[in-house]
Every structure is written in C-alpha cells, then in structure tokens.
Structure 1
Amino acid sequence: MGSRRRRASSTPAWPHPSPERFACSGASPHPRPCRSRRSAGHRRSCGRTPTPRSHACNRQFRVLTASYLTVAITMNLVLAAMPYFAEYELGRAALTTVLIAAFMAPAVLATPLWVLVARRFGKQRSLLTAQAAFVAGSLVLALGAAAGLPLLIAAVTVLGVAFAAMQLMPLSMVPDVVAAAGPAGTAGAGSYTGVWTAAEATGSALGPYVYSACLAAGGFVASTAGEHAAQSSGALTAIRYGFTLVPAVLMTIAIALQRRYTLDGRAHTTAPRTVVRENALE
C-alpha cells in the first residue's frame, strides 16, 4: 500500500488546459473569438507597430499634417513671389530686400511672444488666429501699389508675425499627437517626425511651382539677360493676385483643415484613456 501511494504521488499532475486555451487553439467544440487575435488584427490595421498606415489611421496627425502641408506651400509661394511683386507691381526691384526683411525680422522677434500667447490661450486658438491674420494681410496686399508702400510693408509685417506662429504651433502639437497615441505613438515618434519632415519638404518644393503656374496662366514672359521684357495686363494681374489672393485662398483651406484638429486642451486627458484602451486589447 505504501509503495502504491509513493508511485501515485510521484506521478506528475499535468495541468488541465483552460477553456481560453481551447478557444485560441481551435480545439474547443464551441470555439470563441480569441481576444489576442482580435488585437493582433487591430494592430495590423491601425498599427501598434509604427508604419505609414498607422499614421494614416491617426486622425489627429492626419489633419495636422494636411494643414501644415498647405501652410508650407503657401509660405514658400509668398517668398518666391516677393521679387516679382516688388519689381512689377511696386516698380522697384530693390524693394525685394525691404519686403523680405519686413517678413523675416518680425517672424524671428515674435516667436517668444507666441510662446506666451499659446500658454495663455492654447495652441489651437493661437494658430487659427495667426492663420486668419495672414489671410487679412494678404487681402490688404491685393490692393497693390495703390495702397501705398507703408501700408504694404505693414501688411507684410503681419504676414511675418503670423508665419512665426505657423512654424511654432504645429511643430509643438506633434508631441501631443504622439502622446495621445499611447505606447504605439511613443515607439513611433521617429517615424512621425519623418512624415512631418517629408510634408515640410513637399511644401517647400510645391510653393514656387504653384506661383509659376499662376504666372504661366497670366502669360508672363521671362526676361533675358540684360533685357527687361514688357508684360501684358494679364501677366501683371497674375503677379499681383498670385502673391496675394492665391495665398489667401490656400490659407483659408489650411484653416478649414486645422479646425478639425481637436486634441488641443485634451492632451493630458486623452493619453491615459488611450493607454487604458490599448491595454484592454491585449
């Protein structure tokens, strides 16, 4: 009897598989959906592993990037158009330096002020205000030389002040988007930055081309070396409005896109909820 008890006690007691294991292995006669498989499918579709597709699934990042791309196109268009506006609308090519200085100097000086404004009123509201100010300044510039040089320089200064905010605010919103995406966002911070940099480079390239398309539509004739080509009224109109109304329209589109960004003011409350939701899927 004693030996039988010893042999029985020495026999290993294998654990019985749980219903959850049967459900995941498919051995159960009544299989249930496996939670780990659902989460794996979710990860493949909207990305716990950072991929371009996971960025596309992030609505906040998609809206923010689209708005910033439009802003980048607009700002590079304006910088490319300034020499044409100075020479053909104002009649003095030397004013190009004055316009660029009136644009860039306020942009540098206003950056610290925009930091204070963002802390007081929020990033989103500050950015939308700057974009609206840019539209207003562009409409003033559309008046052309008849408005007078002082008013035009003041309008360019407004564009420069707005430009500072449109560089500062969107870039400061990217970390908020990354944090709100939970662990997947933190792991993919580098890829988010890569997509953002690509959008900025694309805007830098497209801006001058958009203005070139405006000049071509107006019949602009390029000057040769040592010879100043006379421009038609259509070309002069394209020079003025390509520098003013076209940027105003593009910036209005950027405002419409930016208004769909809803993360500002909720960055610290959205992120923990996202983390809980991600953990529930595991």
Structure 2
Amino acid sequence: MRTSVDAGRLPLGVRIGYGSGSVATGAFGTVPGLMLLPYLTDELGIAALWAGVIVFLPKAWDVVLNPIAGRVSDRTVDPAGPRRPWLVRAGLMLAGAFALIFAAPDLDSRWLEAGWVLLFFVLAASAYAFFQVPYVAMPAEITSSYDERTRLMTWRVAILAFTIMLAGATAPVIRDAVGGRDGYRVMGVVMATVILVGVLAAWWGTRRAPIGAVGAGAGTLRQQLQVVSRARDFRVLLTTFVLQALATGCMLAGVAYVAEDLLGRTSAATILFVCFVGPALLLTPLWARWGERVGKKQGYVASSLLLAAGAALAVLARGGNDVWTFVATGLVGVGYAGCQVFPMAMLPDVAAVDAARTGENRAGVYTGVWTAGETLGLALGPALFALMLALGGYLSSEGRDISQPDSALTTIALGFSIVPAILTVVSLWWLRQYTLDPAEVAAAEGAVQ
C-alpha cells in the first residue's frame, strides 16, 4: 500500500526545484546532438558514417542500462526516498564525464581521438541513465493528482526549453569565439558547469517534496519488464514518443549543417535555436492550461501536428531562404513544447495507475523503459542523419572549408525537414490507441486509498 501523498497542489518551490533537473537533461540532450557530429566530421576528420556510429553506440548502451537503473532506484532505501540520492550521485559523474568528451588531446591519430570521444561519451551516458531515470520517476510518487502532474511538467518543460536555448545558442558561439579544438574544449567545460548547476538545484530543490512509498515490485527485472510490456497504454504512448524523439534528434543533428551549408553562416545556428525555443518558453503554460480543458491526449495530437507542419516547411532551407527557415523552426518550437508537456504528464499516470492497482512500485522500471526508448530515438536521429549525409556524398574535413555537392545539400534539407515531419505524423497512428483518462486514473488510485 502507498503512504498518503497530497493530491493537492505542490509547493511552488518543489515545482521549480523539480523542474531544475531539466537544466542537466536539456544540456546533455542538446549539446552532443548538436555539436558532436560536426566535431567528429569537421574537426577530427572522421567519415560521416563512422561518426554516426560513434554518436549512436553510447546511446545504444543507455537503452540497455536504463531499465536496470530504474530497478536499482526502485529498490533504493534512503531517508530521502528512492530517487533523490541518485540525482546527486550520478549527476556529479555526468558533469565530469561530459567535460572530457570534447577534451581529447592531440594523439596524432584521428581514430585514437575518436576512441577518446567514445569512451567518455559512454561514461557520460551511463551516469545520465542513473540520473534521468530516477528523475523522471519522481512525479508518479510526489503527487497523485492527474492535473498536478501536468502543472509539474509545465515547469519542467519551460526550464528544459530555456536550457535548450541557452545551451544550443551559446555552445556554437563559445566554440567559434575560441576557435578550433580549443573552442570545443572550452565549450565542453562550460556546458559541464551548466549540467552541474542543474544537478545540484534539482537535488536541493526537491528536499521537501512528498515521498510516495510503494513496495518495490516483486520478481526479476525480466519479469517486471514483461509486466510493463503488457501495459497497452504505456506501449502505445512510448512508441509515439520514441518516433518523435527520432524526428527531433534528426533535426537537432542537422542544425549545424543547415546553418553552415544551406544558409551560409554558422551564426544561423544560434538564430535557429532562439526561433525554436522562444515560442516554447512562451507557450508551454498555455499548452498545459489548454490540456486541462481538452485532455492530454488531444493536446498531444494538436502539438504533434504543429511540429510536423513546421518541420515540413523547413524544407525551404534548401534554397537558402533564411526567413522562412526561421519561421518554420519557430512553428516546430510551438509544437515541441506540447510534445514534451503532454507525454511527460501522461507517463506518471500510467505508472501511478499500475502502482495503485497492484500496490507495487514499478515507476522506476516504467521510466527506465521510457528513458531507454527516448534515448534510442534521440540516438537514432543523429545516426539517421549521418547515414543520409553518407548517402548524399557529404565530404568530411579537418577544419577546412569544403564545397559540398548538391546531393549532400539536398540530403541535409530532407534530413532536417521532410523526414522528421513524416516520422511525427506516423507516430500519431499509435497515439490514437491510447485510452487512459482522468476518470480511470482517479478510480484506480481511489481503490487503494
């Protein structure tokens, strides 16, 4: 049985404190996706296909590790609860490993230097699993209110959007201001500091958050994964989210290439991020309020369609049209805000209903599988974009200016626009099968209170 968790509003300090964790997740999710592929292809001179493999492998490892991290946190016994201790334990390791990803010394071998990147990216990804999975599991336990989870996600997504803008806009500026490989090194240290701030703020800010105590699920990890896999609403929600993470990862990987090769100026990358995140910062609370009126699922559908429309419009970048590319990116940002608020508010509902019905806590396993899926999607996005670059004949360099063939320019545009749009629209086929509603959440939880 679960101990009483306040079904009313959480204190503002808890909401902000919890949302602060998105500073760490936003920086780690944004900067490697934005900077690592061009670092490998244009600074270390690694061929696009192999660079894609290097970017993908640590994330693939995370897919395996995330459910394990979830089970470990489910079974953690600590006065601060099963989740909070992992925020600081794993968060500190994440910040340190991240700084080293871009700090490869001159080893006189591009493959040794690529090996350095791979090693520390794997370490950072491992730490991220043990930070992110407990972090995502917390809302299912700190409140039993259907609407309060949406409010909690509003803070999280707003801070996430701000972090994406901060990290995405400033990382290229820092790199270019310093120049060369030293620019990447300095950028890595600065972004690691941002991650550290988010880690400590989330750990400290949630110290007064309610702790929902539910007995850890019985059985082996494999048995618990089988139980989770049979939860139909979770399954279709996860599939939708993974496909959209793949679309987002593909667009993120393409930003630097669109800015430099299609729009003709690296500074456009910063403008693209401002256009993307600005609307998200302003409209995230509006999405949350609208979702309370029409329902989370309906809000998720509407925001997904806006994201897809913006992505499709971004194909105009192929003609070097700055204005319409920025407008399209802004529309993507409007949709992206809702595509974060709604699924992240729906996930705790699924986990909490399971816990209420069974009296067993599988929130960590649910979020472990969820984070594994999100990680897989975000990893496959850059890998897909790198594959498209290779098929388009993209020419790697080592800091030199190279004119790309028309085929490479076309694949950059398609990978940034049409492909993500199609993936987002296709994801809605699964979302239409989601059936969990507020009444079912309330009934299931009320049965054990």
* TM-score, L = length of structure 1: 0.74
Closer/same/farther in 2, CA of residues 185 and 202 from structure 1, 3 Å limit = farther
Show CA shifts across 1:58-110 (max 9, x none).
Answer: 11111111111111121122111011111111122211110011112322332
- For residues 363 and 357 of structure 2, the distance between their equivalents in structure 1, rounded to whole angstroms, comes to 10
8 Å CA contact retained: 1:139, 1:244: yes
Alignment-mate amino acid for residue 224 of structure 1: E
Alignment-mate amino acid for residue 61 of structure 1: F
Is 2:377 the counterpart of 1:218? no
8 Å CA contact retained: 1:179, 1:185: no
Closer/same/farther in 2, CA of residues 138 and 266 from structure 1, 3 Å limit = same
- Secondary structure (helix, strand or coil) at the match of 1:143 reads helix
Aligned to 1:191: 365
Structure 1 ranges of 4+ moved more than 4 A: 47-50
Alignment-mate amino acid for residue 252 of structure 1: V
- For residues 153 and 212 of structure 1, the distance between their equivalents in structure 2, rounded to whole angstroms, comes to 23
- Secondary structure (helix, strand or coil) at the match of 2:264 reads coil
Show CA shifts across 1:114-147 (max 9, x none).
Answer: 1111111111111111111111111111122548
Alignment-mate amino acid for residue 315 of structure 2: A
Aligned residue runs from structure 1 range 6-25, under 5 A: none
Larger CA Rg, structure 1 vs 2: 1
Which structure 2 residue ranges, 5 or more long, are not aligned?
A: 1-216
1:272 CA drift (Å): 6.8
8 Å CA contact retained: 1:61, 1:177: yes
Aligned to 1:203: 377
- For residues 320 and 263 of structure 2, the distance between their equivalents in structure 1, rounded to whole angstroms, comes to 11
Q: CA RMSD in A?
A: 2.3
1:256 CA drift (Å): 1.4
Closer/same/farther in 2, CA of residues 254 and 180 from structure 1, 3 Å limit = same
- For residues 185 and 171 of structure 1, the distance between their equivalents in structure 2, rounded to whole angstroms, comes to 22
- For residues 325 and 359 of structure 2, the distance between their equivalents in structure 1, rounded to whole angstroms, comes to 44
- For residues 245 and 359 of structure 2, the distance between their equivalents in structure 1, rounded to whole angstroms, comes to 24
- For residues 226 and 440 of structure 2, the distance between their equivalents in structure 1, rounded to whole angstroms, comes to 22
- Secondary structure (helix, strand or coil) at the match of 2:266 reads coil
Which structure 1 residue ranges, 5 or more long, are not aligned?
A: 1-46, 277-282
Closer/same/farther in 2, CA of residues 210 and 259 from structure 1, 3 Å limit = same
Aligned residue runs from structure 1 range 255-270, under 5 A: 255-268=428-441
- For residues 103 and 109 of structure 1, the distance between their equivalents in structure 2, rounded to whole angstroms, comes to 11
**Identical amino acids, percent of aligned pairs:** 36
Is 2:300 the counterpart of 1:127? yes
8 Å CA contact retained: 1:65, 1:196: yes
- Secondary structure (helix, strand or coil) at the match of 1:83 reads helix
Count of residues in Structure 1 that have an aligned counterpart in Structure 2: 228
> Which residue, 135, 157, 161 being the options, matches 2:330?
157
- For residues 235 and 185 of structure 1, the distance between their equivalents in structure 2, rounded to whole angstroms, comes to 55
1:269 CA drift (Å): 6.3
* TM-score, L = length of structure 2: 0.48
Aligned to 1:243: 416
> Which residue, 233, 244, 262 being the options, matches 1:89?
262
Closer/same/farther in 2, CA of residues 185 and 131 from structure 1, 3 Å limit = farther
